[in-house]
Amino acid sequence: GESVGLHLPTLSVQEGDNSIINCAYSNSASDYFIWYKQESGKGPQFIIDIRSNMDKRQGQRVTVLLNKTVKHLSLQIAATQPGDSAVYFCAEAQDAGNMLTFGGGTRLMVKP
Amino acid sequence: DAGVIQSPRHEVTEMGQEVTLRCKPISGHDYLFWYRQTMMRGLELLIYFNNNVPIDDSGMPEDRFSAKMPNASFSTLKIQPSEPRDSAVYFCASSPGPREAFFGQGTRLTVV
């Protein structure tokens, strides 16, 4: 089962639908924002990042949107698959330091 | 590369005992991080090293916790004496630079 058993907000989606996971951040001085995926029994895994001077970045099936006006970050997953079921964390960091500060996480559950 | 390797995967110990968690980072990565994950506090950075030198240990809970990195391929996190509230999953991560930290599988510590 899940390594930690966190009581997290949960997003439940149907397989094949698109998923949107949201994150609010607090530090206006952050230089980049990163999304991590944590599957049960494993450590977090890097998905995609975006620098603070960008508002959108696309990867394979994933898109990250950054709205600095309202300090909001989102991760969009296209055509969600059962293998996408995991806990997703946003993190922020600055160029000057090398520390990632993680948000609270969202659990994504994909229904077949 | 086998990725970041942590040992043990699981540790159960009695309150008051010394616990040592071990980590082998990915070869060539200059940064090493120790994180703790709990239900209540999520993912917390405890300490990180750059080129084997501790850079920021402000996340270490108290003097009972200590971390060392004697060389580029090995780090330890020690808790002495351990307490039940130290029960958590401890992750080690390494990175070649900012942003993309590679996490190990974690050590689930239970202090009874």
Residues of chain B found within 8 Å of residue A101, distances taken between Cβ atoms:
45
Under a CB-based contact definition with an 8 Å cutoff, are residues A85 and A110 in contact?
yes
Sites in chain A below the pLDDT cut of 70: 1-7, 97-98
HEC readout, chain A? CCCCCCCCCEEEEECCCCEEEEEECCCCCCCEEEEEEECCCCCCEEEEEEECCCCEEECCCEEEEEECCCCEEEEEECCCCHHHCEEEEEEEECCCCCCCEECCCEEEEEEC
Closest to A100 (Cβ–Cβ): which among B39, B42, B45? Answer: B45
Q: What is the pLDDT of residue B1?
A: 65
Instruction: State the Cα–Cα distance between residues B82 and B85, nearest whole angstrom.
Output: 8
- Where do we find the tokens 């039940």? B84
pLDDT in tens, B90-104: 999 999 876 789 999
Q: Is residue B98 less than 8 Å (CB to CB) from chain A?
A: yes
Contact A43 B105 (CB under 8 A): yes
Q: What is the mean pLDDT of residues B69-74?
A: 97
Two tokens, residue B91 = 């992750």
Residues of chain A found within 8 Å of residue B104, distances taken between Cβ atoms:
43
Q: Is residue B97 less than 8 Å (CB to CB) from chain A?
A: yes
**At A34, phi and psi to the nearest 5?**
-135, 145
**pLDDT band for position B2 (cuts 50, 70, 90):** confident
Instruction: State the Cα–Cα distance between residues B108 and A80, nearest whole angstrom.
Output: 30
pLDDT in tens, B22-70: 999 999 999 999 999 998 888 999 999 999 999 999 999 889 999 999 9
Residues of chain B found within 8 Å of residue A105, distances taken between Cβ atoms:
42-43
